[in-house]
Structure 1
Amino acid sequence: MALTGNDAVAEALRQVNPDVAAIYPITPQTEMMMKFAQYYADGKVDTEVVCVESEHSAMSATVGAAAAGARAITATSSAGMALMWEILYVAASNRLPIVMALVNRALSAPINIHCDHSDGMGARDTGWLQIYSESAQEAYDNTIQAFRIAEHPDVLTPAMVTLDGFILSHTMEVIDILPDEEVKKFVGEYKPENYLLNTEHPLTMGPLDLPPHYFEHKRQQVEGLDNSLDVIRQVAREYKEMTGREYDLLELYKMEDAEIAVMALGSSAGTAKEAVDTMRDKGVKAGLIKVRVFRPFPVVAILEATSNLKALGVMDRAIAFGAQGGAVFLETRSALYERSHPPVLSYIYGLGGRDVTIEHIAGVFEELAEVAKTGKVKQLVNYVNLREPE
């Protein structure tokens, strides 16, 4: 079936048939929830669709529904996520397994509706799981898996599934869609143990939490995220048995004998694969480490993937202002700190939808090859396809 990324996620949500969907439009997410609303209007889902007046209300409604025991969803982009910022923390701290599609878009100002990862990276410390998609197929598959991961009793943590704005959300590709009954069986019926409408075991949720207990509750959130690493892999194994499509925390492309590699996430990983092939044709042992799961950050998997490298370039589609390099670079360098590791360079690229091509990433590989050869890093933080002042 030929679908855009937005339509692919909407199709996955139709098949899951959640209890509640809170909807508010924002480019480039709008068509996704518009499609889901059409499914509702056509009687293809029996979801309670709540059309709200803002993204803050969308996340608030989703939190309320999830707290009451419903399987709840929403979707947003960019400034929409910024407006719901307060409630992202509320959802995570209340251990509500909401699933949200995030169609990545730059944050203002200046106003820009195109793709970068400023919204997702800005939310990296909110306590949500973050799963990035290279293609519309991955966005579809990741959405289905996200429910199983978030709702697992050892995790109970909200999950955002991201896809690059316009590059994936509005681009059509052929998607392998599963039969409805297989998706429903895989996801299963949502049966929360603790929820506000459970009159047999009444509880209070989200009360004033003072110093004697607040710290411990935050530590429990850490445990939920840590537990998700094994759950993500288990769910991926089960999904492979059903579909034949393989997923993990990372995807390693031609890393078996790689001496240099780039690390990337989102749609640019597909471009990077082509760049790897280009460099391989020139006799350069290049590879790609694609980060599928950014939160929790897969430290052990990254240590294993980078163990034989002579140089690593980490590509960030967002700036961490005031820091040395982007968020993925900072996480990676921190992960590698305790052991002997290759030189690690930061590459900022693609802000506001700026193109990144095979040639641009091949240029990154050429710089990494020189670093691997000489052991010298000329510049730690680099900018790809940036017009320098004359």
Structure 2
Amino acid sequence: MIKQTEGSQAVAEAVALCRPEVICAYPISPQTHIVEGLGALVKAGDLAPCEFLNVESEFAAMSVAIGSSAAGARTYTATASQGLLFMVEAVYNASGLGLPIVMTVANRAIGAPINILNHHSDSMSQRDCGWIQLFAESNQEALDLHIQAFKLAEEMSMPVMVCMDGFILTHAYEQVDMPDQAQVDAFLPPYEPRQVLDPAEPVSIGAMVGPEAFMEVRYLAHAKQTMALDRIPEIAAEFKEAFGRDAGGLVRGYRIEDAETIVVALGSVVGTLEETIDTMRAEGVKIGVLSIRCFRPFPMAAVRAALARTARVVVLEKSFAVGLGGIVSTDVRLAMVRIHVRGYTVVAGLGGRPITQDSLLRVLRLAVADELKNLTFLDLDWDIVNRHLAREAATRRSGPIAENLLRDIGSGARPTTAGKAQP
């Protein structure tokens, strides 16, 4: 059914169609509308049987999810930003125990300073925690990925994060095609756990493991992620056959067949990039976009195949490793070993800063001309940065960075030459 709805509500309805038996969550923007929507469905009796648990923290939310999943219940939760960090110990436990929990991460910046807007630093911080990570480009894909996520998680007995850009998607009203219950039931079989806590057949889950077996346990976690690289595109193909839409999978290329420059990105910025690429194509520039839909496990072979015939790669990412540079770029470069292409990293959109077509056109034209620096921060205000560096060079008690920058912006102050950073 075609309907105009908020991204969070679309996800809530899609999750409800998957018939979760336990939902536990602690509200934190920008995921709150998702669990509010699910709570309303449970209260109204439209989602039953299902127990909705209000918990006292994000750590408690994941702890409840672990318990309910181990007891054999289809389980769902959602979080963002500091909420994800607060539950990290339990996040690792969920994957280490092989529990098929599905969780929405409404991507939001991690403080300090406090920022509630979009940024990929939260899910990127957990890229090595053992969860599968799927990234949505649109609200339709976010809806579709949740349905696929339950099937993937339960077949592989592994937890899955579905990452969608906070506010950009979660709070945007778009047209989506919502399936009906019969369609989802036909696609997603009832949950049959590989392991379950059952008083009739007592077992231990989460036993102490020493050096005699710990490495093997961890390797099996890696092996299962590798196996998921095969199953993820198969499930996407099954979804397309059942619902008539292309969603999910490992990667998706746009105008890359003859591209001499390929931009690699994740999430909602892909749509803006595609429009930008269309403009450059009209100018005669051979350029395309590769969307990474599955970040963990990283689709090394698929990325390598997509980039094998291009001359240069620009990785656009909404997070970065402080003191190093790009996060996604590092994985992309591993995929390009022995492929001789020029590579650039562009960090953009941090803390919700708009990524405009004008800015993308400017930086991509530099890349096509091979005049772009290896690491570029899109639309960074070098005047404000240099002013603060000069302040720190001039006095020991220079004050808090964030408040100083806000004061400088408000006063319209311009930099001195001392301590000037190179753009």
Report the TM-score when normalising by structure 2: 0.88
What is the alpha-carbon distance in structure 2 between the residues aligned to residue 321 and residue 302 of structure 1? 25
Query: Could you say what secondary structure the match of 1:182 adopts?
Result: helix
What is the alpha-carbon distance in structure 1 between the residues aligned to residue 24 and residue 372 of structure 2? 49
**Change in 2 beyond 3 A, CA 1:198/1:335:** farther
What is the letter of the counterpart of residue 294 of structure 1?
Answer: F
Answer yes or no: is 1:66 the counterpart of 2:69: yes
What is the alpha-carbon distance in structure 2 between the residues aligned to residue 363 and residue 298 of structure 1? 29
Answer yes or no: is 1:210 the counterpart of 2:214: no
1:143 aligned residue? 146
2:375 paired residue among 359, 373, 381: 381
Name the count of aligned residue pairs.
Answer: 380
What is the alpha-carbon distance in structure 2 between the residues aligned to residue 330 and residue 103 of structure 1? 23
What is the alpha-carbon distance in structure 1 between the residues aligned to residue 185 and residue 24 of structure 2? 21
What is the letter of the counterpart of residue 114 of structure 2?
Answer: I
* Residue pair 1:3, 1:173 contacting (<8 A) in 2 also: yes
2:364 aligned residue? 365
Unaligned runs of 5+ in 1: 372-376
1:198 Cα deviation (Å)?
Answer: 6.3
Answer yes or no: is 1:32 the counterpart of 2:31: no
Q: What is the 5 A alignment of 1:161-180?
A: 161-180=162-181
Q: What is the 5 A alignment of 1:1-390?
A: 1-46=3-48, 47-152=50-155, 155-197=156-198, 199-200=200-201, 202-247=202-247, 248-323=249-324, 325-337=325-337, 339-371=338-370, 379-389=373-383, 390=415
Moved over 3 A (4+): none
1:29 Cα deviation (Å)?
Answer: 0.6
TM-superposition CA deviations, 1:168-223 (whole Å, max 9, x none): 000000000111111122111001132112634x3211121111111110001001
* Residue pair 2:344, 2:372 contacting (<8 A) in 1 also: no
What is the alpha-carbon distance in structure 2 between the residues aligned to residue 4 and residue 198 of structure 1? 43
TM-superposition CA deviations, 1:228-286 (whole Å, max 9, x none): 11111111111000122113211100011111011011100000000110100100001
What is the alpha-carbon distance in structure 2 between the residues aligned to residue 236 and residue 360 of structure 1? 33
* Residue pair 1:260, 1:310 contacting (<8 A) in 2 also: yes
What is the letter of the counterpart of residue 342 of structure 2?
Answer: P
What is the letter of the counterpart of residue 274 of structure 2?
Answer: K
What is the alpha-carbon distance in structure 2 between the residues aligned to residue 69 and residue 315 of structure 1? 40
What is the letter of the counterpart of residue 205 of structure 1?
Answer: I
In our comparison, the structure showing a higher alpha carbon Rg is: 2
What is the alpha-carbon distance in structure 1 between the residues aligned to residue 361 and residue 89 of structure 2? 40
Report the TM-score when normalising by structure 1: 0.96
What is the alpha-carbon distance in structure 2 between the residues aligned to residue 3 and residue 330 of structure 1? 37
Unaligned runs of 5+ in 2: 384-414, 416-423
* Residue pair 2:157, 2:194 contacting (<8 A) in 1 also: no
Query: Could you say what secondary structure the match of 1:227 adopts?
Result: helix
**Change in 2 beyond 3 A, CA 1:274/1:144:** same
What is the letter of the counterpart of residue 281 of structure 2?
Answer: R
* Residue pair 1:261, 1:365 contacting (<8 A) in 2 also: no
TM-superposition CA deviations, 1:79-104 (whole Å, max 9, x none): 10010011110000000010000000
1:374 aligned residue? none
What is the alpha-carbon distance in structure 1 between the residues aligned to residue 241 and residue 291 of structure 2? 22
1:364 Cα deviation (Å)?
Answer: 2.6
What is the letter of the counterpart of residue 274 of structure 1?
Answer: E
TM-superposition CA deviations, 1:103-126 (whole Å, max 9, x none): 000011111000000001001010
1:308 Cα deviation (Å)?
Answer: 1.0
What is the alpha-carbon distance in structure 1 between the residues aligned to residue 205 and residue 74 of structure 2? 17
What is the letter of the counterpart of residue 366 of structure 2?
Answer: E
TM-superposition CA deviations, 1:143-186 (whole Å, max 9, x none): 0000111111xx22100001101000000000001111111221
Query: Could you say what secondary structure the match of 1:385 adopts?
Result: coil
Greater Cα shift, 155-164 or 361-370? 361-370
